[in-house]
């Protein structure tokens, strides 16, 4: 069967040519072979399978006609030839949100050219385009969806949005801190002087409350400044074992363990990481304090550390080389009541807390420190407790860090 391109070449050959051109034209005419239907079909399938976007084509009755390797990877579905011919709701059984999109594609007259969807089953964010497949008479034959994994792009955009919010929040917090910190210190000092002068027990109790409230308010101001101030890491070879032991000591000094059983399991020979010892200590201290407070004096906490491997870019297209990065993985787990489902997406937000005396900055600072170290933090929670997993690269990205010799000094309120 002649294609339009072949027909154009044939017509070009039949046009009259200049005399000079006729003399130079070879005697023997090259015979062009039109690819067979089978060869063309094979070439088409290789094109689809090599695409860096996911491709899923379904017929009018819902049967899968084509699905490429990138689509399998994004949907985290095992690649199998038996998927061809099955109904798409069976192939995508783990992704009901995508199944609903494809069902509606047959009913809509105008399909969205660009849309995004977060797969609830995996948490991946995909950008997709839907197209109707029609025959020569305009009849609907099926639907094809082209999509791309935008998870990493979404994470980078979220970091940018967070950075913008922190700039505005930092300016506001610095101004408030200057106005609030000095009066709070004055209240605390004057209450202490008055406490030494009165002997009445009721007055002593009231003055103690005033002093404690002033200290708490001062601590909130300090934490707010710590959160909004840009992190400048003093990078050095840091032994994560030393960091964790120091964090345990600090956490136990701030929150009484009482009947909480703490189990520490740190693998021997963990490689040193490129990081800031002080910031990492604060990170794990906050996680341990959070675990102790969740148990309210009764339960068990596990602190586990081991070496791991992580793909540099888990969202890279299929077929490209995936390099593995050595990491240190630290789990902080408790067997408390867990985090309610409706609050899980908000626990890392600044100033969000469920504790009567909490500032809502502990976990927000944790995430900020993890991001500064080019790491990641994941949470698994349920009725049997909560587990925070921190993954830190052994060798971080050097351009993300501020060398120790060049670290800037950020003035505090006390400076």
pTM: 0.49
Sign of the dihedral through C-alpha 112, 114, 118, 121:
positive
Structure tokens at 144: 């094809």
Nearest CA to 106 out of 42, 164, 63 is that of 63
Please give the domain boundaries of the chain with CATH numbers for all domains. Answer: 31-149 (3.30.450.20), 152-229 (1.10.287), 232-415 (3.30.565.10)
Find the helix or strand (DSSP H, E) in which 329 lies.
Answer: strand 324-334
Nearest CA to 306 out of 245, 389, 378, 219 is that of 389
Do 104 and 145 touch, CB atoms closer than 8 A? no
pLDDT means over runs of 10, the chain (415 residues): 42 44 53 67 71 86 88 84 87 88 83 82 85 86 88 77 73 74 84 85 87 82 69 85 93 85 91 91 91 86 90 51 79 86 69 57 81 88 87 65 36 34
Sign of the dihedral through C-alpha 303, 304, 307, 310:
negative
Distances (CA, A) of 368 to 1, 37, 166, 173, 364: 62, 57, 11, 17, 6
Do 239 and 270 touch, CB atoms closer than 8 A? yes
Distances (CA, A) of 35 to 4, 12, 66: 13, 20, 22
Q: Give pLDDT, residue 30.
A: 57
Number of neighbours of residue 14 by Cβ within 10 angstroms: 7
Q: Give pLDDT, residue 250.
A: 92
Q: Give pLDDT, residue 317.
A: 46
Q: Give pLDDT, residue 397.
A: 41
User: What's the chain's Rg over C-alpha atoms?
Assistant: 31
The crossing angle, in degrees rounded to 10, of helices 277-295 and 362-372 is 150
What's the gap between Cα 308 and its chain centre? Answer: 18
Do 274 and 238 touch, CB atoms closer than 8 A? yes
User: What is the distance in angstroms between the CA of the first residue and the CA of the last residue of the chain?
Assistant: 83
Q: Give pLDDT, residue 226.
A: 67
Q: Give pLDDT, residue 307.
A: 92
135: left (phi over 0), alpha (psi -120 to 50) or beta: beta
Structure tokens at 32: 């062009």
In sequence order, the 6+-apart residues with CB closer than 8 A to the CB of 109 are none
In degrees and rounded to multiples of 5, residue 331 shows phi and psi of: -110, 130
Distance CA(86)–CA(82), nearest Å, equals 7
Distance CA(65)–CA(91), nearest Å, equals 12
Do 210 and 232 touch, CB atoms closer than 8 A? no
Distance CA(407)–CA(234), nearest Å, equals 6
Distance CA(273)–CA(401), nearest Å, equals 13
Kindly state the DSSP code that residue 376 receives in the 8-state scheme.
E
Q: Is 58 helix (H, G, I), strand (E, B) or coil?
A: strand
């Amino acid at each position: 069967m002649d294609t339009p391109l072949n027909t154009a070449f044939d017509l070009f050959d039949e046009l009259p040519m200049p005399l000079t051109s006729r003399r130079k034209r070879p005697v023997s005419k090259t015979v062009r072979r039109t690819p067979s239907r089978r060869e063309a079909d094979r070439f088409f399938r290789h094109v689809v399978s090599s695409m860096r976007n996911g491709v899923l084509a379904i017929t009018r009755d819902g049967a899968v006609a084509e699905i490429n390797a990138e689509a399998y990877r994004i949907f985290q579905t095992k690649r199998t030839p038996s998927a061809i011919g099955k109904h798409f709701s069976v192939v995508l059984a783990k992704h009901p949100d995508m199944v609903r999109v494809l069902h509606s594609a047959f009913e809509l007259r105008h399909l969205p050219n660009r849309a995004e969807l977060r797969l609830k089953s995996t948490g991946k964010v995909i950008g997709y385009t839907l197209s109707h497949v029609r025959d020569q008479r305009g009849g609907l034959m099926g639907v094809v969806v082209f999509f791309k994994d935008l998870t990493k792009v979404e994470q980078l955009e979220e970091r940018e949005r967070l950075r913008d919010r922190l700039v505005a929040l930092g300016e506001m917090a610095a101004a408030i801190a200057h106005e609030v910190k000095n009066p709070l210190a004055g209240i605390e000092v004057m209450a202490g002087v008055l406490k030494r002068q009165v002997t009445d027990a009721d007055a002593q109790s009231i003055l103690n409350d005033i002093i404690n409230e002033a200290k708490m308010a001062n601590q909130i101001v300090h934490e707010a400044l710590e959160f909004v101030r840009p992190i400048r890491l003093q990078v050095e070879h840091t032994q994560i074992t030393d960091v964790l032991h120091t964090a345990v000591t600090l956490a136990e000094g701030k929150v009484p363990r009482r009947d909480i059983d703490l189990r520490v399991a740190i693998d021997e020979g963990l490689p040193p990481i490129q990081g800031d010892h002080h910031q990492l200590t604060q990170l794990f201290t906050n996680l341990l304090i959070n675990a102790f407070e969740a148990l309210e004096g009764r339960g068990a906490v596990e602190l586990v550390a081991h070496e791991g491997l992580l793909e540099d870019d888990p969202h890279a297209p299929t077929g490209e080389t995936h390099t593995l990065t050595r990491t240190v993985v630290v789990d902080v787990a408790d067997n408390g009541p867990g985090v309610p489902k409706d609050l899980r997406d908000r626990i890392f937000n600044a100033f969000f807390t469920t504790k009567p005396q909490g500032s809502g900055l502990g976990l927000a600072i944790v995430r900020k420190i993890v991001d500064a170290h080019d790491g990641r933090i994941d949470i698994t929670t349920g009725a049997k407790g909560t587990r925070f997993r921190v993954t830190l690269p052994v060798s971080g990205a050097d351009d993300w860090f501020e060398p120790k010799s060049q670290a800037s000094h950020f003035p505090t309120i006390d400076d």
